[in-house]
Structure 1
Amino acid sequence: MEQLAQQEKIKEKVYGKQKIYFADQEQFPTISDPELKQLDAQVSELNSQVQSAQLSCQQLETELKELNSSMTTEDMMREIKDLKEECSKYQQKLDKMKSAANHVTPEEKEKVYSERKQFCKEWKKRKRMATDIFDAILEGYPKSKKQFFEEVGVETDEDYNVSPPDI
């Protein structure tokens, strides 16, 4: 910096132990107001070009990220091959199921559903009867319902988080 100051390309000011260097304003040509306005217009035009170039760059970077995150052609071909193999396995399994001789007839199906319905009704009926009996016993019992069940050894549906299904 001192060398540039000696060559009078920049100016130097000394403030105690500190030195400050700055550009020599006299070496720059004087610019008129119209020229300054023209330069300002050029600066704003160049700024707008920079902004549009940055926007374009961002769009291209986004597109590049999308393309890099997508599968390559080889990966896609491998995936298609794997899916076709899986599809053929499922097709074979479906064909086996269709050709199986152990189909359930509609009559058998209806019989199973009616038995299920009957058993569910019976379950609810018996649960209601047991609840009525327990309530009658508990009217004169000095301890809580939970303590009574523990003493007698009763296990309820609620202990196992089950309930009779809706019919």
Structure 2
Amino acid sequence: MSKSKESPAAAVVILKYLNDQNRPYSAQDIFGNLQREHGFGKTAAVKALEQLAQDGKIKEKVYGKQKIYFADQSQFAAIGEAELKTLDSQTCDLSDKFQNVQQSCRQMEAELKELNNSMTTQEISVEIAALNEECSSHQERLKKIKSATNHVAPEDKEKVYNERKQYVKEWRKRKRMAADLIDAVLDGYPKSRKQFFEEVGIETDEDHKVTIPDL
């Protein structure tokens, strides 16, 4: 649509929109609400609103730097007090219904999200089959262990425990000796313990996250 034809076309659309909605809007509101459907630009919307106001087809109010446009109320029939009360009552009823529907929508959205995050029936079937296979494998392994005849003899087990205890004691002893020797060197060393370790190339149990086991 050419620029010359855009404003008149926009004026027709905007006049109908303001009369149908019968509520105040800024030029930006009008442009935002109608642009996508009708395709006219913001400049055309502003010009159309100004022309409609000049022609007396809509009303214009200025609030600071902003202009607000709304339908000419003289075209609408006067509403009596009883009718206003009826409309207020209907508004309250519709508001309650809207809140109830909105709450139901939230609950359904939460349920839908939970379902979307859950496994499908096919996925559950595959998972069950895999777990059954794994369980059977473990049961077979346990059965073989229980039926094995080559268990470790008590004396061999005791020998292993004693050797472990001896090695742990030796580990503690050697670590203590190394610590004493390092402390003696550091008494006359001008730098920090960390720098000394780096220069000499000492690696500690802590560097490798190793802890001496209990006896």
TM-score (norm 1): 0.67
Comparing 35-44 with 17-26, which one deviates more in the overlay?
17-26
Q: Deviations over 1:99-130 (max 9, x none)?
A: 22222233322221122112222333344456
Match of 2:96 in 1: 48
Q: Deviations over 1:50-78 (max 9, x none)?
A: 11111111111211222222222222122
Alignment of 1:76 with 2:132, yes or no, is no
**What is the 5 A alignment of 1:15-54?**
18-20=51-53, 21-22=57-58, 23-54=71-102
Contact 1:157 1:163 in 2 (8 A): no
Change (3 A) 1:126 1:25: closer
Structure with greater Cα Rg: 1
Contact 1:120 1:164 in 2 (8 A): yes
Query: Where in structure 2 are there 5+ consecutive unaligned residues?
Result: 1-10, 20-49, 59-70
TM-score (norm 2): 0.54
Question: Aligned partner of 1:124: which letter?
Answer: R
Contact 1:120 1:165 in 2 (8 A): yes
Match of 2:167 in 1: 119
Match of 1:67 in 2: 115
Match of 2:213 in 1: 165
| Residue correspondences, number | 150
Displacement of 1:163:
5.6
Displacement of 1:27:
3.9
- Looking at structure 1, the residues matched to 96 and 186 of structure 2 have their Cα atoms a distance apart, in angstroms, of 89
Comparing 87-96 with 104-113, which one deviates more in the overlay?
104-113
For residue 144 of structure 2, the aligned residue among 77, 96, 105 is 96
Displacement of 1:38:
1.9
Alignment of 1:58 with 2:106, yes or no, is yes
SS where residue 101 of structure 1 aligns? coil
Q: Over aligned residue pairs, what C-alpha RMSD do you find?
A: 3.7
**What is the 5 A alignment of 1:126-137?**
126-129=174-177, 134=181
Change (3 A) 1:64 1:140: closer
